[in-house]
Amino acid sequence: MPRILLVEDDPDNISLMTRLLAHHGHSISVAEHVAAAWDKALAEQPDLILMDLELPAGPDSQPDPHAGLEATRRLKSDPRTSGIPVIALTAHTMAQHRERIAEAGCDDLQEKPIFPFQHLLDKISRHAGAA
């Protein structure tokens, strides 16, 4: 099963996502801010990243609505992490949001709340299989 890096700062979302993904056999690592996401992506080389878009830059900062997109741009511009598929997790799925998500280099997006969960599992299988 794919090794997944979940980049999410909400404790309830972390708990739910890690339980559901683990239940389906995935190995999950969690980063709660952009700095940790970068470090873990480099060190762990996950098969796929689930990236919340509104994240703090570091452990003591406030969430920024553009931090997840900036983190994705950085990951996609570095040869060490550019091949890792990134699925954006967001409640913002209007056309202009989808364009910004694609321009940042995200390979796909999953609308929040995630229901049915099988949709996300299908996207993980599709993109992690391409990695």
Domain annotation covers residue 121: no
Instruction: Give the gyration radius of the chain's Cα atoms.
Output: 13
Range of the domain at 40: 6-108+126-130
Whole-angstrom distance between the N-terminal and C-terminal Cα of the chain? Answer: 12
Check residue 84 and give its pLDDT. Answer: 98
Domain annotation covers residue 49: yes
Q: What is the mean pLDDT of residues 22-40?
A: 97
Domain annotation covers residue 1: no
Say how many domains are in the chain: 1
The answer on pLDDT for 129 being more than 80 is no
The answer on pLDDT for 130 being more than 70 is no
Domain annotation covers residue 113: no
Domain annotation covers residue 23: yes
Check residue 1 and give its pLDDT. Answer: 81
CATH label of the domain that carries residue 38: 3.40.50.2300
As a whole number, the mean pLDDT across the chain is 95
Token pair for 27: 């190995």
Q: What is the mean pLDDT of residues 2-23?
A: 96
Q: What angle do CA 47, 68, 80 make, to 5 degrees?
A: 40
Q: Which residues pair with 3 in a beta bridge?
A: 27
Domain annotation covers residue 88: yes
